[in-house]
Amino acid sequence: MTTSSPLQTAADPTTGNQEEGSIELRRVRRTYGDVTAVDDIDLTVHPGEFVTLLGPSGSGKTTTMMMVAGFEELTSGMVLINGRPVDKLPPKDRNLGVVFQSYALFPHLSARENVEFALRMRRVRPAERRQRAEEALERVGLAKLGDRRPRELSGGQQQRVALARALVFNPSALLLDEPMAALDKRLREQMQEEIKTIQRSLGISVLFVTHDQDEAMSMSDRIVVMRDGRIVQQGAPDDVYAHPVNDWVANFLGDANLLPCTVLERSGETAVVDLGELGVGRVRDRGASGDRYAVSIRPEHLAFIPADRTENSASGRVVTSTNLGATIRHRLRVGGQDLLLRELSAGRRTARELDGEVFVGWEQDEAQLLVLES
């Protein structure tokens, strides 16, 4: 009799179960007295997909994950894993690997013993436990450190042990709750790449929680932006970044130039807008609907242009220029508004004089019409 590797692909199409690794939330709600932490959300994580819940503190993202894991009860709604309701199941019976921000390692156990613990709870025989734990540690690059205790490991190494423990029993999906929050920038970026590489190689579904926009952008197949317990917007990282639905999402996902406007004409995916002192311009329109509108232009999509260009352009003055190494950030005064323009240092042709007149413009598809809420 042959056995499959404990780290095999979680959503193997040859198994015939096309829902293996799926997570579904149906009208899930969680309240604490008069406080609503999660407000009637619907969400599906498809097999093999890396989905990130992104939002500020208090947005409901961690509570949502804890309800999927079984550590928080639902006030109403339903959670399904692999197409089956799990609301009444305890965490240990949901077959989900979980990595917490604190890693939750046992200080008196070695790295190998910490990884084995997940198998011991499943009554796996000692010899098989050891073999599978060693395979899991090798997968995360800790094959030679299995005998060390957590205090003898760096923060990044502790995180790898926690990840190995979450993967060793071949879970249906992996839940990661801000697992890199305690790491320094360089190590955090390294671990982001390694986690994504492991996830792709195993084909395992991941539900990831973070408040770090750059982390969400670099790791996710899909970003779910949350605010006040609700899903505000979701989609591929590039799409959510380039086409925010409102000014709050635009600002939360990075720097954005928001230009209040009046819509003059809408046709297909193009809108003609009046930008006041900046004149009339054409922008991309994806069907935003509201009482007030603005145009969002990311600083890297605003560019210095020749003075003779007439459409989607304006004149202004340079207020400050800050060299950030790879890029230069200019703060401009254009039509009574402060705008940010970011250009690559290598592509900078001439120095910009402070208070000097400049002409700036944007491409139609890189300016987005959105709802102005604040």
Query: 128 and 196 in contact (C-beta within 8 Å)?
Result: no
| Residues carrying CATH 3.40.50.300, the chain | 13-240
Backbone angles phi, psi at 118, to 5 degrees: -60, -35
Q: pLDDT tens string for the chain (374 positions)?
A: 333 344 444 444 333 455 789 999 999 999 999 999 999 999 999 999 999 999 999 999 999 999 999 999 999 999 999 999 999 999 989 999 999 887 788 999 999 999 999 898 888 899 999 999 999 999 888 999 999 999 999 888 998 999 999 999 999 999 999 888 778 888 888 888 989 998 998 899 999 999 999 999 999 999 999 999 999 999 999 999 999 999 999 999 989 999 999 999 999 999 999 998 888 889 999 988 989 999 999 999 999 988 877 788 889 999 999 988 889 999 999 988 999 999 988 766 566 777 788 999 999 889 999 999 87
Tell how many helices (H) and how many strands (E) occur in the chain.
8, 20
The total of other beta-carbon atoms located within 10 Å of residue 97's CB is: 24
Q: 347 Cβ partners below 8 Å, 6+ apart?
A: none
Structure tokens at 88: 């009444």
What pLDDT sits at residue 251?
93
Distance between CA atoms of 340 and 181, rounded to whole angstroms? Answer: 29
Q: 280 Cβ partners below 8 Å, 6+ apart?
A: 264, 272, 273, 274
Query: 216 and 223 in contact (C-beta within 8 Å)?
Result: yes
The total of other beta-carbon atoms located within 10 Å of residue 154's CB is: 10
What pLDDT sits at residue 370?
95
Q: Please name the CATH architecture into which domain 13-240 falls.
A: 3-Layer(aba) Sandwich (3.40)
| Residues carrying CATH 2.40.50.100, the chain | 243-371
What pLDDT sits at residue 278?
85
What pLDDT sits at residue 3?
37
What pLDDT sits at residue 338?
94
Backbone angles phi, psi at 362, to 5 degrees: -145, 155
DSSP string, 56-96: -TTSSHHHHHHHHHTSS--SEEEEEETTEE-TTS-GGGS-E
What pLDDT sits at residue 5?
40
Distance between CA atoms of 212 and 207, rounded to whole angstroms? Answer: 15
Query: 137 and 113 in contact (C-beta within 8 Å)?
Result: no
Q: Tell me which H or E stretch contains 208.
A: strand 205-210
Query: 121 and 92 in contact (C-beta within 8 Å)?
Result: yes
> Strands 205-210 and 50-54: what pairing?
parallel
The three-point CA angle 359-363-366 to 5° equals 120
CATH number of 243-371: 2.40.50.100
Query: The whole model's pTM is what?
Result: 0.87
Structure tokens at 240: 């959510």
